[in-house]
């Protein structure tokens, strides 16, 4: 038998009879011989120095393997053969194809061991095989090896990670044969599904997506039966195999959707349908506007039924993904639905019918999307219905015939209840309005039913998590109480009980929501003197019963209390005997134990209480106000509201006027803003005592909030001191002190504090129009040249012209000169412009910021009149890197285009490139929007000036249409359409 095998082998290797391979394979199958015997006979040929002999020997072994059943050989035999074939990959190039064919065969054997051998095969192929140099059939064998290993031994290959991905990409690169591509796409899909592509994700996408869209046309009578649809479907499966491809695939699909080739459009739509469920919302927001626009345009163009159907399916798939995040769906619907609903009402069937198809496709995406599509018409109808009910409630008269309303009362109540039970905030609002109107039909609705209706509104309001529902509930309860005052007891008692019940649950989200809503509702139902005082007492009690660790719940309590105190419904008796003592007691006990990690919360609570006390005090008679002034000033000076210092200028040891007091103690200085509007700055000795100590606190206090509030107090006092020697003396003394700290202090914090105090002194004098402020302003402008303090000085110009509700305004009895902002700008802008031109390059930005700070706070008509001298500074602001400068410059230029187009036309070539750059590259969404608005407004300039820039603008705005933010895309469309 050995001689027979040897003869068969020799005949094949020598080329005498190629059919001998079949005979040997049959003998192996019949167990007449073994593979070891065959290999022994082949030995001299497999190791022969002549490459053609080695080639024939290897070819015989491979043909035998290809003819054997997959389960015939033992694992040991397969291992030996596989090892031999791997070694042949590095042999002569004519032998490589046979080695590849052999490996394709052995990797199908059931006894193939897997494990490290899989990695060894792949490594050898990546190292030795240049796939592009092989024939089609041999390249097919390489893909077969990969597919066999990926399908049956995936876990053995996965540890190769990037090495395998990179090697596969290199082997697949440039493949053109459709038969091989079907295998390669299947391999690529498995790789993308089960490997972390990492740095290779773009390469993997490019090596496959380069075939998209498929333009293969099979030859006539093709025996392989591969069609364009087969390739397209296989490629789509690769593109949809991992969300990592989203950022590369969306731009590609968008590009092909705009193609003139119908097959490219159709393949893009089918790919989008396949990819969306995998990509979900990954990178979708960035391309959402462009994708939806192309899909809707395709439906409207109606070029073919096939494209329309695919576009509608793609739109449904798109909205299905948006439906997984309610916020994204709501935003998309808010942008697209109004236009679609208008087109539905068009008289033209060519407009109306495609729009209906679009709406049906959108509604089919999800129940939430369906509800959104139907919601707007539904809300419009219900809004009109509820408005009619409200009009009836507001127009009651004894002469009215209520019989018709009596008959429909039950239906109205049923409608209101169903709307209130809806999960849609807009419908809940309509339900509240309807039930509110119903509760005001006093002539036909029994008192107990009114009470039940109000309780429904109240219960919904307490648990509401929507701002519009909360606001509407407050409005409804106020309206009801204004007409049905007997319900006050029930409403206030219920809300008070909710506060108490959720006081200890404030740390939980649900407890916090109920407590906050109840506090806001309580404040809103203070519609008359009686209800206001009852609500006020509830809030005062909440202040006193608050325990440590629950400081957050003081925020809604103090906000509600401030609202009630500002309502002008609290009597002097309650204000002086309950409000003032309770709040001062709270401030001198609970607030002084406030934890340091919650300083911002403390500042907010203190500010809200201060605002409420001040509003209440301004409504009191002079005698009552004087008593409160003495109490508050005593607290600030001595630290105890019960101690009214009769003499001496030194503050007590617990006084907030001690510069080194704790931040909790020193912040009580803010209480002075309550009483300064009622302080007699001409005769009251407290004024001088305060001015003797407040500057030191403003300069030396460690707490920034204390320093700011102290500066406000100083500015408020000097604003109200009568003109003449007393005022000059105070201003000169303060100026001297501030200057000494600015020039002599080596501590940067003290220098900044001194600069802040200087700014507020200037503001106090500027607001009243005092002429002695000129020298102080000159000093502030000179500080713009300081490398350390220049930026802080520039910010001061904003403070000087800004309006603050708690100080230096008419509402708090400040001395305010009309048009002081305009006067300040006109007087100081030339000095700033001159300083900008003369300043060193590194300091020019200080002047730009100072000008920008002023422009923020002056009327538009003033800006327009000063625009000619502002233009060089605005151009420079656009070229800098400061976002605040960009925003202010863009806003000013946009306004200037409307009111002074001639001035802007001269600078068009300077500002247009910068605006286009910011529209595309600015990091802030607001900057990009402002830049786009400015570019859009430029269309109002003379056409002759615009024409040379038109093509550049259209080109620059095209990529902005795909901005990641919807609002930016919207502005980009508007600006580009205008041009």
Per-residue pLDDT tens over the stretch 558-594: 999 999 998 888 888 999 889 999 998 888 887 777 8
End-to-end CA distance of the chain: 91
Question: Residue 712: what pLDDT?
Answer: 96
Residue 157 has pLDDT above 80, yes or no: yes
pLDDT band at 93 (very low <50, low <70, confident <90, very high): confident
CB 435 within 8 A of CB 457: yes
Q: Which residue has the tokens 């309860």?
A: 477
Per-residue pLDDT tens over the stretch 308-357: 999 999 999 999 998 888 778 888 888 888 888 788 777 777 887 888 88
Question: Residue 929: what pLDDT?
Answer: 92
Output the DSSP codes for 92-159: -TTTHHHHHHHHHHHTT-TT---THHHHHHHHHHHHH--GGGS-HHHHHHHHHHHHHHHHH-HHHHGG
CB 858 within 8 A of CB 866: no
Q: What is the mean pLDDT of the chain?
A: 84
Of the two residues 444 and 746, the one the predictor is more confident about is 746
Distance, in Å, from the CA atom of 343 to the CA atom of 345, rounded to the nearest integer, reads: 5
Question: Residue 816: what pLDDT?
Answer: 92
pLDDT band at 768 (very low <50, low <70, confident <90, very high): very high
Per-residue pLDDT tens over the stretch 262-276: 888 999 999 999 999
Residue 746 has pLDDT above 80, yes or no: no
Phi and psi at residue 807, to the nearest 5°: -160, 145
> Rounded to an integer, what is the distance from CA 800 to the centroid of its chain?
33
- 503: left (phi > 0), else alpha (psi -120 to 50), else beta? alpha
User: Which has the minimum average pLDDT: 109-123, 654-668, 864-878?
Assistant: 654-668
Q: How many helices (H) and strands (E) does the chain have?
A: 50, 0
> Rounded to an integer, what is the distance from CA 198 to the centroid of its chain?
27
Residue 176's closest CA among 227, 139, 206? 139
Stretch (H or E) spanning 42: helix 35-46
Question: Residue 399: what pLDDT?
Answer: 47
Give how far Cα 16 sits from Cα of 11, 41, 65, 287, Å. 5, 17, 20, 67
> Rounded to an integer, what is the distance from CA 194 to the centroid of its chain?
32
**Alpha helices, H only, 463-568:** 467-483, 488-503, 509-524, 529-545, 554-565
Give the tokens for residue 855. 């422009």
Give how far Cα 405 sits from Cα of 410, 436, 445, 870, Å. 9, 15, 10, 65
Burial level of 537, CB count in 10 A (0-12/13-18/19+)?
A: middle
Per-residue pLDDT tens over the stretch 438-488: 776 655 667 777 788 788 888 888 888 888 888 888 888 888 888 777 888
pLDDT band at 400 (very low <50, low <70, confident <90, very high): very low
Question: Residue 646: what pLDDT?
Answer: 33
What residues does 804 pair with on adjacent strands? 807
User: Which has the minimum average pLDDT: 433-442, 621-630, 752-761?
Assistant: 433-442
Distance, in Å, from the CA atom of 108 to the CA atom of 121, rounded to the nearest integer, reads: 13
What residues does 807 pair with on adjacent strands? 804
Q: What is the CATH number of domain 244-392?
A: 1.25.10
Of the two residues 170 and 544, the one the predictor is more confident about is 170
Question: Residue 2: what pLDDT?
Answer: 52
Cα angle 558, 578, 521; round to 5: 35
- 639: left (phi > 0), else alpha (psi -120 to 50), else beta? left
pLDDT band at 794 (very low <50, low <70, confident <90, very high): very high
CB 771 within 8 A of CB 677: no
Phi and psi at residue 804, to the nearest 5°: -120, 130
Per-residue pLDDT tens over the stretch 511-557: 888 899 899 989 988 888 999 999 999 999 988 886 666 788 889 99
Residue 644 has pLDDT above 50, yes or no: no
Per-residue pLDDT tens over the stretch 930-971: 999 999 999 988 888 888 898 899 889 888 887 777 788 888
Residue 893's closest CA among 945, 930, 922? 930
**What number of other Cβ atoms are within 10 A of residue 312's Cβ?**
22
Residue 120's closest CA among 103, 141, 108, 134? 103
CB 70 within 8 A of CB 110: yes
- pTM for this prediction: 0.63
Residue 387 has pLDDT above 80, yes or no: no
Residue 90's closest CA among 50, 123, 135? 123
Residue 421's closest CA among 383, 391, 463? 463
The residue ranges of DSSP E strands in 343-432, in sequence order, are: none
Question: What contacts 157, CB < 8 A, 6 or more positions away?
Answer: 118, 119, 122, 149, 150, 164
Q: Which residue has the tokens 């509401």?
A: 464
Residue 166 has pLDDT above 90, yes or no: yes
Give how far Cα 959 sits from Cα of 251, 274, 335, Å. 11, 26, 20
Q: Is the dihedral of CA 746, 748, 753, 757 positive or negative?
A: positive
pLDDT band at 650 (very low <50, low <70, confident <90, very high): very low
Q: What percent of the chain has pLDDT over 90?
A: 29
For the chain, what are the domain ranges? 244-392, 874-978
Distance, in Å, from the CA atom of 21 to the CA atom of 33, rounded to the nearest integer, reads: 13
Question: Rg of the chain over CA atoms, in angstroms?
Answer: 41
Distance, in Å, from the CA atom of 843 to the CA atom of 786, rounded to the nearest integer, reads: 8
**Omega of the bond leading into 429 within 30 degrees of 0 (cis):** no
Distance, in Å, from the CA atom of 246 to the CA atom of 205, rounded to the nearest integer, reads: 10
**What number of other Cβ atoms are within 10 A of residue 159's Cβ?**
11
Residue 115 has pLDDT above 70, yes or no: yes
Give the tokens for residue 131. 């796939």
CB 772 within 8 A of CB 731: yes
CB 38 within 8 A of CB 69: no
Burial level of 152, CB count in 10 A (0-12/13-18/19+)?
A: middle
Give the tokens for residue 188. 């690529």
Distance, in Å, from the CA atom of 64 to the CA atom of 38, rounded to the nearest integer, reads: 10
Distance, in Å, from the CA atom of 475 to the CA atom of 449, rounded to the nearest integer, reads: 20
Distance, in Å, from the CA atom of 874 to the CA atom of 872, rounded to the nearest integer, reads: 6
Q: What is the mean pLDDT of residues 65-80?
A: 87
CB 854 within 8 A of CB 891: no
Question: Residue 39: what pLDDT?
Answer: 78
Phi and psi at residue 121, to the nearest 5°: -60, -50
CB 655 within 8 A of CB 637: yes
Residue 165's closest CA among 197, 139, 136? 197
User: Which has the minimum average pLDDT: 394-408, 602-616, 705-719, 768-782?
Assistant: 394-408
- 957: left (phi > 0), else alpha (psi -120 to 50), else beta? alpha
Give how far Cα 163 sits from Cα of 127, 197, 779, Å. 11, 10, 68
Question: What contacts 402, CB < 8 A, 6 or more positions away?
Answer: 441, 443, 444
Per-residue pLDDT tens over the stretch 810-848: 999 999 998 898 899 889 999 998 998 888 888 888 988
Residue 159 has pLDDT above 60, yes or no: yes
Give the tokens for residue 337. 């639905």
């Amino acid at each position: 038998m050995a001689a027979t095998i040897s003869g068969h082998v020799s005949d094949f290797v020598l080329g005498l009879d190629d059919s001998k391979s079949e005979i040997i394979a049959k003998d192996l199958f019949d167990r007449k011989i073994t593979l070891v015997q065959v290999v022994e006979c082949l030995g001299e040929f497999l190791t022969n120095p002549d490459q053609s002999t080695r080639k024939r020997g290897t070819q015989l072994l491979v043909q035998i393997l290809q003819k054997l059943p997959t389960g015939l050989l033992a694992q040991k035999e397969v291992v030996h053969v596989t090892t031999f074939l791997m070694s042949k990959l590095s042999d002569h190039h004519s032998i490589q194809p046979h080695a590849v064919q052999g490996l394709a065969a052995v990797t199908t054997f059931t006894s193939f061991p897997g494990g490290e051998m899989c990695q060894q095969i792949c490594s050898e192929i990546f190292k030795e095989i240049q796939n592009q140099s092989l024939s089609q059939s041999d390249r097919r064998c390489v893909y077969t090896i990969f597919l066999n290993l990926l399908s049956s031994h995936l876990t053995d290959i996965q540890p190769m990670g990037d090495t395998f991905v990179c090697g596969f990409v290199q082997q697949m690169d440039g493949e053109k044969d459709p038969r091989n591509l079907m295998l390669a796409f299947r391999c690529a899909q498995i790789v993308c599904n089960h490997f972390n592509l990492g740095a290779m994700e773009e390469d993997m996408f490019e090596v496959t997506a380069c075939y998209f869209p498929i333009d293969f046309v099979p030859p006539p009578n093709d025996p392989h039966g591969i069609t364009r649809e087969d390739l397209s479907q296989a490629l789509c499966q690769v593109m949809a195999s991992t969300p990592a491809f989203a950022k590369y695939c969306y731009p590609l699909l968008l590009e092909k959707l705009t193609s003139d080739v119908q097959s490219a459009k159709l393949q893009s739509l089918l790919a989008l349908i396949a990819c969306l469920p995998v990509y979900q919302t990954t990178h979708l927001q960035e391309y959402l506007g462009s994708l939806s626009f192309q899909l809707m345009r395709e439906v409207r163009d109606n070029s073919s039924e096939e494209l329309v159907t695919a576009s509608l399916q793609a739109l449904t798939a798109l909205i299905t993904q948006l439906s997984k995040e309610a916020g994204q769906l709501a935003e998309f619907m808010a942008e697209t639905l109004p236009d679609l609903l208008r087109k539905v009402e068009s008289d033209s069937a060519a407009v109306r019918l495609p729009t209906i198809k679009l709406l049906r496709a959108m509604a089919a995406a999800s129940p939430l999307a369906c509800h959104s599509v139907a919601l707007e018409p539904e809300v419009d109808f219900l809004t009109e219905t509820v408005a009619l009910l409200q009009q009836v409630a507001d127009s009651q008269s004894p002469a009215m015939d209520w019989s018709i309303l009596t008959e429909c009362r039950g239906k109205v109540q049923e409608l209101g209840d169903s709307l209130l039970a809806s999960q849609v905030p807009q419908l809940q609002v309509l339900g509240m309005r309807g039930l509110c109107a119903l509760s005001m039909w006093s002539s036909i609705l029994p008192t107990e039913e009114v009470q039940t209706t109000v309780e429904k509104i109240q219960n919904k309001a307490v648990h509401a998590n929507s701002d519009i529902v909360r606001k509407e509930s407050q409005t409804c309860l106020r309206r009801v109480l204004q007409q049905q005052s007997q319900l006050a007891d029930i409403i206030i008692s219920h809300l008070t009980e909710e506060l108490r019940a959720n006081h200890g649950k404030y740390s939980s989200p649900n407890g916090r929501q109920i407590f906050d809503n109840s506090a806001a509702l309580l404040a809103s139902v203070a519609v008359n003197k009686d209800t206001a005082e009852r609500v006020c007492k509830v809030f005062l009690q909440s202040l006193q019963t608050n325990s440590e660790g629950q400081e957050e719940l003081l925020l809604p309590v103090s906000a509600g209390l401030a609202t009630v105190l500002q309502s002008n419904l609290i009597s002097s008796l309650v204000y002086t005997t309950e409000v003032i003592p309770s709040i001062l007691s709270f401030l001198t006990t609970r607030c002084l134990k406030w934890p340091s990690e919650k300083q911002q919360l403390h500042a907010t609570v203190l500010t809200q209480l201060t605002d409420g006390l001040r509003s209440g005090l301004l409504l009191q008679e002079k005698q009552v106000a004087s008593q409160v002034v003495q109490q508050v000033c005593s607290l600030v000076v001595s630290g105890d509201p019960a101690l009214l210092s009769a003499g001496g200028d030194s503050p007590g040891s617990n006084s907030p006027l001690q510069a080194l007091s704790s931040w909790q103690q020193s912040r009580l200085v803010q209480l002075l803003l309550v009483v300064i509007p009622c302080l007699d700055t001409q005769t009251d000795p407290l004024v001088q005592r305060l001015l003797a100590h407040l500057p030191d606190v403003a300069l030396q206090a460690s707490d920034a909030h204390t320093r700011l509030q102290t500066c406000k107090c100083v500015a408020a006092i000097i604003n109200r001191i009568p003109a003449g020697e007393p005022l000059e003396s105070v201003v000169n003394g303060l100026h001297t002190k501030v200057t000494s700290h600015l020039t002599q202090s080596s501590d940067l914090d003290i220098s900044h504090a001194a600069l802040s105090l200087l700014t507020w002194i200037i503001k106090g004098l500027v607001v009243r129009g005092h002429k002695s402020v000129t020298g102080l302003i000159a000093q502030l402008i000179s500080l713009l040249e300081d490398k350390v303090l220049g930026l802080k000085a520039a910010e001061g110009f904003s403070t000087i012209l800004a309006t603050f509700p708690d100080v230096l305004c008419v509402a708090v009895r400040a001395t305010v000169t009309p048009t002081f902002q305009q006067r300040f700008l006109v007087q100081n802008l030339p000095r700033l412009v001159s300083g900008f031109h003369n300043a060193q390059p590194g300091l020019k930005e200080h002047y730009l910021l100072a000008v920008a700070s002023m422009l923020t706070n002056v009327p538009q008509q003033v800006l327009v009149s000063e625009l000619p001298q502002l233009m060089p500074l605005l151009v420079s602001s656009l070229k800098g890197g400061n976002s605040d400068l960009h925003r202010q410059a863009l806003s000013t230029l946009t306004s200037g285009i409307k009111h002074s187009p001639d001035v802007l036309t001269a600078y068009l070539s300077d500002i247009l490139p910068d605006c286009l750059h910011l529209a595309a590259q600015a990091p802030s969404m607001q900057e990009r929007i402002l830049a786009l608005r400015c570019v859009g407004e430029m269309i109002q300039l003379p056409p002759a000036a615009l024409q040379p820039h038109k093509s550049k603008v259209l080109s620059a705005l095209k990529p902005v249409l795909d901005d990641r933010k919807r609002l930016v895309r919207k502005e980009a469309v508007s600006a580009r359409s205008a041009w």
